[in-house]
């Protein structure tokens, strides 16, 4: 193999795609990522040399492209992925941030980490084994995290003679499952990550498949969404008060616009207090008095009235404010080894605020096989997806996760040692009532 590294210098603004791999252990996720990087000419010669050397030492014929992302010693020794690897590549059409996640059930929390910021998930299955439990779990996690686009990559087609009769039923089964989960967009592509069929280059072995290669699909999937039409949100991170001679009375609220757009003169509410005021001015990272701030810009907002604002508050568009509540109903994915039980006292981290919370009730867990909600579980254990009701010590401005990923999500944290216990999403549950 020859490695050529030819990244494009320019890509159009706003075309970044964040994607994550998913699927069961050994289904070929890391090999696929290596293949994508290799065939789009984004592997450096010294990286490929190292991979070829290790592959030879293991007695393999060719380079094991999974070694391009399986960078930890333990991963290389065991031949599995343990934690997410982030890789960056670009074509002239768009830029990609790729999270290669582990398939092993023990490391599901790391898959959740990689998928939480993804706009697209590539779920792999081994054509010989079809949809297995871990495929379902990852598809459910992607649905829960509201990853808007899902690709089913039926991999290892080389091991089933590239037959359509193997591909089609897997694609059908997966489509039915994801439809039941409410995933809006699913595309199925037959590939061989090892041989390179339909990854970057079209396959010579599957005339029956007329769809795009994986890369073509990734380059064209539409993730453009215009912040102008979303309700504006800015969780306050930090209050800037320079108290220098030049900026004696300056008081700015620094934060990242998580959704929508703000302009000077806009009427806003400061939540949870609900105080109404207007935006006096916006500064953008050293640029004074800009006309506009939109997601995901980091900016500093100055307010017209002398209202009390501090870290943890959220500045929102006055006409499209979220509900402020101490009662949280949410779907959660439990990620810690220690279980979550009704009555547990935890910390809840939402936006830039951290408050005490108590688990009022565990309402249901999702059965991955039937997609039914089993009521009143005794505990939520690692990797369980469930429905919970929480009571917080202070009111929080909670958006529906379906509309606002950043202000509709939260973490539950163990107060004693800081462990992240649970990932929470405000709003509609997955699955059906039994």
Partner 1 sequence: MTVVDTVSPLRLSHLDALESEAAHIFREAAAEFERPVLLFSGGKDSIVMLHVAMKAFWPAKVPFGLLHVDTGHNFPEVLEYRDRTVAEHGLRLEVAKVQDYIDDGRLRERADGTRNPLQTVPLLDAINAHRFDAVFGGGRRDEEKARAKERVFSLRDEFGQWDPRRQRPELWSLYNGRHRPGEHVRVFPLSNWTELDVWQYIEQEKIELPEIYFAHEREVFKRNGMWLTPGEWGGPKDGETIETRSVRYRTVGDMSCTGAVDSTAATLQDIITEIAASTLTERGATRADDKMSEAAMEDRKREGYF
Ligand X SMILES: Nc1nc2c(ncn2[C@@H]2O[C@H](COP(=O)(O)OP(=O)(O)OP(=O)(O)O)[C@@H](O)[C@H]2O)c(=O)[nH]1
**Interaction with partner 1 in 242-301: which residues (CB under 8 A)?**
242, 244, 246-247, 250, 252, 254-256, 261, 283, 285-286, 289-292, 294, 296-298, 300
> Which stretch in 130-138, 184-192, 274-282, 409-417 sits in contact with partner 1 by CB under 8 A?
409-417
For residue 377, the SS3 value is coil
Rounded Cα distance, 405 and 145, in Å? 8
Torsion, Cα of 404, 406, 409, 410 (10° steps):
-160
**Nearer to partner 1 by C-beta: 71 or 182?**
71
Cα–Cα distance, 223 to 273 (Å, whole number)? 34
Q: Within positions 34 to 73, which residues make up the interface with ligand X, using CB under 6 A?
A: 64, 66
Site for Mg ion in 80-119 (CB under 5 A): 81
210 binding partner 1? (CB under 8 A): no
* CA trace torsion 418, 296, 334, 98 (10° rounding): -110
Residues 23-62 that bind partner 1 (CB under 8 A): 44-47, 50, 54
Q: Which is nearer to ligand X, 81 or 365 (CB)?
A: 81
| Least spacing, CB of residue 29 vs ligand X, in Å | 3
| 154 torsion bin: left (phi>0), alpha (psi -120 to 50), beta (else) | beta
**Based on CB atoms, which residue is closest to ligand X, 40 or 69?**
69
Binding segment (CB under 5 A) for Mg ion, from list 24-32, 290-298, 313-321, 398-406: 24-32
The answer to whether the beta carbons of residues 271 and 313 sit under 8 Å apart is yes
- Is residue 114 involved in binding ligand X (CB under 6 A)? no
Binders of partner 1 in range 66-85 (CB under 8 A): 68-69, 71-74, 76, 82-85
d(Cα 217, Cα 224) in Å, to the nearest integer? 15
- Stretch 132-161 residues interacting with ligand X (CB under 6 A): 155-156, 158-159
Cβ within 8 Å of residue 221, ≥6 positions away:
17, 120, 149, 185
- CA of residue 64 relative to chain centroid, distance: 27
Distance between CA atoms of residues 82 and 92, nearest Å: 32
- Decide which of Mg ion, ligand X, partner 1, none touches 399; Cβ closer than 5 to 8 Å per partner kind: none
Stretch that binds ligand X, among 101-109, 163-171, 217-225, 318-326 (CB under 6 A): 101-109
Q: Which two tokens stand for residue 94?
A: 């768009």
Provide the CA 359 distance to its chain's centre, in angstroms.
Answer: 25
Q: Which does 233 bind (CB under 5 to 8 A by kind): Mg ion, partner 1, ligand X, none?
A: none
Q: Tell me which H or E stretch contains 144.
A: helix 133-144
Binding mask 343-382 for partner 1 (x = CB under 8 A): ----x-x--x------------------------------
Site for partner 1 contains 325 (CB under 8 A)? no
333/343 Cα distance (integer angstroms): 18
**Shortest CB 104 distance to Mg ion, Å:** 9
Select the residue interacting with ligand X from 3, 19, 27, 283 (CB under 6 A).
27
Nearer to Mg ion, 194 or 232 (CB): 194
Which residues in 61-136 belong to E strands, given as ranges? Answer: 85-90, 95-100, 120-126
Rounded Cα–Cα distance for residues 338 and 46 (Å): 42
Q: Which does 217 bind (CB under 5 to 8 A by kind): Mg ion, ligand X, partner 1, none?
A: none
Cα(412)–Cα(311) distance, rounded to whole angstroms? 19
- Minimum distance from CB of 87 to ligand X (Å)? 13
């Amino acid at each position: 193999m020859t490695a050529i590294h030819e990244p494009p210098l320019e890509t159009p603004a706003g075309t970044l795609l964040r994607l994550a791999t998913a699927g069961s252990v050994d289904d070929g996720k890391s090999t696929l990522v290596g293949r994508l990087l290799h065939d789009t000419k984004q592997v450096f010669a010294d990286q490929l040399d190292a991979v070829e050397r290790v592959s030879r030492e293991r007695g393999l014929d060719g380079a094991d492209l999974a070694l391009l992302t399986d960078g930890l010693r333990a991963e290389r020794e065991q031949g599995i992925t343990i934690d997410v690897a982030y890789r960056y590549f670009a074509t002239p059409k768009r830029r990609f941030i790729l999270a290669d996640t582990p398939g092993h059930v023990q490391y599901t929390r790391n898959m959740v980490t990689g998928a939480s910021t993804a706009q697209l998930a590539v779920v792999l299955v081994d054509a010989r084994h079809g949809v297995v439990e871990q495929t379902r779990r990852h598809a459910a996690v992607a649905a829960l995290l509201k990853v808007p686009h899902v690709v089913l990559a039926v991999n290892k087609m080389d091991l089933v003679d590239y037959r359509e009769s193997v591909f089609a039923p897997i694609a059908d089964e997966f489509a039915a499952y994801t439809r039941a989960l409410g995933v809006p967009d699913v595309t199925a592509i037959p590939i061989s990550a090892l041989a390179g069929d339909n990854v970057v280059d079209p396959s010579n072995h599957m005339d029956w498949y007329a769809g795009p290669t994986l890369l073509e699909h990734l380059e064209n999937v539409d993730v453009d969404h215009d912040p102008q039409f979303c309700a504006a949100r800015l969780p306050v991170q930090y209050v800037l008060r320079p108290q220098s001679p030049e900026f004696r009375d300056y008081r700015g609220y620094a934060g990242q616009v998580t959704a929508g757009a703000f302009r000077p003169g806009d009427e806003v509410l400061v939540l949870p207090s609900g105080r109404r005021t207007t935006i006096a001015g916006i500064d953008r990272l050293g640029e004074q008095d800009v006309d506009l701030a939109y997601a995901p810009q980091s900016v500093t907002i100055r307010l017209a009235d002398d209202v009390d604002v501090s870290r943890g508050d959220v500045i929102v568009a006055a006409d499209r404010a979220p509900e402020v509540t101490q009662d949280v109903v949410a779907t959660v994915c439990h990620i810690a080894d220690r279980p979550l039980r009704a009555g547990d006292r935890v910390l809840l981290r939402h936006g830039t605020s951290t408050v005490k919370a108590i688990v009022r009730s565990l309402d249901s867990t999702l059965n991955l096989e039937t997609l039914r909600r089993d009521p009143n579980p005794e505990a939520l254990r690692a990797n369980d997806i469930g429905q919970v009701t929480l009571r917080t010590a202070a009111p929080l401005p909670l958006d529906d996760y379906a509309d606002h990923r950043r202000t509709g999500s939260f973490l539950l944290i163990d107060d004693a040692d800081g462990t992240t216990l649970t990932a929470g999403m405000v709003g509609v549950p997955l699955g059906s009532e039994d």
